[in-house]
Structure 1
Amino acid sequence: MIKVLLVDDEHWNRDMIRTLGEWERLDLQIVGEAGDGIEAVRLTEALKPEIVITDMRMPAADGVELLRILNDRFPEIKAIVISGYDDFNYAKHALKYRAVDYLLKPIDPLELNATLQKCKTELQNSTNPDLEPLDFEFSQRLSGYKQRLRFHFNELNGEAITVVFGQLQQDLHADTGRRKLGRVVQELLLHLKELLTAAMSGAQQQEIKVTPQTISSVEAAVHDVQQYYLQGLDALIQHRKFKNKLNLEEVRQYMEQHFTEPVSLEFLAKVFFVSKEYLSKVFKQEYGLNVTDYILQLRMEKARKWITEDQLPIKTVGEMAGYEDVSYFYRVFKKYFGIAPGEMRKQS
């Protein structure tokens, strides 16, 4: 069990991370919580966490000071930065202390758990210390590439994936040494593994071998990694397309994982290779709800849990449930439950 320490002066931020993390699935355990950097250092010495998730703006010792101390005294610890939009330059300064990744508030559950998986993999595999850390600006751009790759991978769009890699190749040509290129390859292949694990749970995955030739040039690196993505996509298509019948449990699990995204009947029918009429019919027969109502139920039940069990701001709950417009979230919630979010919280 890998030990995790949460550091944030706002308890509801810690509650949000505790709620969104898939701790049991990832074999992680939150062993402590701290409200500032000084307390975090004390708990780090006492509890020996392997992952520290920290906010940046805190009283006493802030996130920058904490990361400096972790980098100097506990270099083996994997640190994840949590940053609000106003903390952008603050986080940029902090990343020089080798934070593994940064997450912008409001936190995307998929990004949080992908980052936790990344930390776990690096801890288990003892990643190559010769790989060069990525600077903040490029890390930000690479995060954008990974988000686009995830979207196109989930929609089974190989042409769009190829376009993304073409743009990435141009970006890498600007200023990339061999060590930095190795880090980019590592990040992208970890990302692919996460995509395949989420999309084909229990299915055998392709073997990925990275040779010295892979990072001999930008062209070679992009070509090899792109081929792994396209091969993985083809494996996913074969996995879904050539079964004897549609696996409704896979459809339901996909909806559970992506309910905050604009998932529709048409989209699901496309990625699972069936007609929307057939999917609509068999899904309702199996679960008693049509696809649209099932997604609404997922969002509302999650929102109710967060409102009644946690102290997250209602605006944050709406964003976590997939509603960028908080006023629209209020209307949908009240229509579904017959009571406004704030009133439900008071009653609970």
Structure 2
Amino acid sequence: MKVLIVDDEKHVREAIRYFVPWEKHHITDIYEASNGQEAMRIMQEQQPAIVFTDMRMPLMDGAELLEWLHSHYPHTKTIVISGYQDFNYVKPAIVYGGTDYLLKPLNSKQLIAAAEHAFKLWLEEEQERHQAHRQNMQLNVLRPLYWDKMLSDLVAGQASFQEVRNSLCEELGMPLFVAECRVALISLQGADCRLLQRFQGDVGLTSFVLANVCNEVLAPKQNGFAFRSWQGGAEIVLLLWSAVAEAQEEMHRINESIRQTYGVQMDIGLSLPAAFPEGLQTAFRQARQSLNERNLLQREGRIHLFREQPGSSGPEESYAFEEQLDKLRIAVLSGDLDKMERVVDGWSDQLAGLPLFTERQFQQLQAEISEVLRRLRPDGEISLELCYDSEGLFSVENWRSQLKALLQHLSEGNTQTPDSRLVGEIRQYLQQNYAQDMTLQHIAERFFISRENVSRKFKQITGENLSDYLTGLRVDKAKTLLQNTNLRLSQISELVGYEDEKYFSRVFKKSTGQSPREYRKQGENQ
């Protein structure tokens, strides 16, 4: 708390300094001014919380100063000290919120009482401001989650439009009367190599940033709103309520913005125009179907329009898939890795020659292959997902390589010890929940093991303390956000698990040798 004493009489300033028990209230910064103009300069430089001011002064009197303070520093508490009891001097103190009006010569008891009253008021209001600020921060964090959930339920037919209509108009800019709409969906499945890797494979974080990019494009004309989906089939949903006929061009603009920002384009499914709000669920299903039925072998065109009769691979291709699955089953039963790899090579050549291979067929095929491979490792984890190239497009060669690598791994057998598997699960849990309040006790209870064993086993397997690993994980996530977003430090701090921005900054600097602001500035200069 800083204090400013404004009076053209030096002995009055000295009396105030002498009588008020500053140490009791931990006040060390006390400034003096002999007129209103000098006081304005000090206010702009130091922003004191408490101002003692005379009324009659040269250059700028107390009335003018009180009016200026009321306009520019409304939270400042003012105590008027004057040698005049005239109403014209008392009135400004009342109009502009003075806490007390004292007459000269000063009475020490009255002065101390007035000062302590002002100190108490300012501290109480400052506490209220901090509380309100914290609540606003929490609301800013929760508001996107609210809209994600509400709009996800709305397009899925699980919420009433009438319940959110006013909020959509007031907060998201939707016109009061909307006759039709379109729905678009964005999937992150095809963006592994560039966008997801840039955010360290964190789908939630990537979706958050991607929705912000979409809304930056939609915001100027308020054509719609993008949100993270709580439904299956896509990560980002765009609800378009204006310029429906130009929706395809709007999707191209969004994809171009993503390309310019992150160097990758997305696959976007787009519905036909539908009546609003009764056609929302139909539009959502159409957009999802347009993504599921997109041709993975097509190299051009990333906006996929809904077709009334989606294409099919035909009975020949379906039969060929079954034939290859049977060959793979026999090779797996034999345990011969060379046989398995020859099946994969033949299958890859077959896929490359197909005119059409949809996302839906691919997901079904992956599920069937996974079931076959479980014969090699009934208790093992089967992962068949990373099949996209650096442009985010399906790659037969990548599919061949990752399937062969998985077969080799499964054939070699699982050499992991129980402790290694446990630590692997703990690391995976931390990677997925780093933003939550995470204590050693919580992790111990989560994995049914004592706190001591958690620490010891984690250190034995990884060579790193668990707390250091969690801190490193959070700092890495913070680095990604600092380099790729314009979010405030307070927002980034909460997103990576630190409620206290100052503590987050200390942890970040200890880990990297730079403050978050220095790290962000360095990234901007590169």
> Which TM class, normalised by the smaller chain length?
0.3 to 0.5
TM-score normalised per structure 2:
0.26
Task: Pick the structure with greater CA Rg.
Answer: 2
More helix by share: 1
Higher relative contact order (CA 8 A, sep 6+): 1
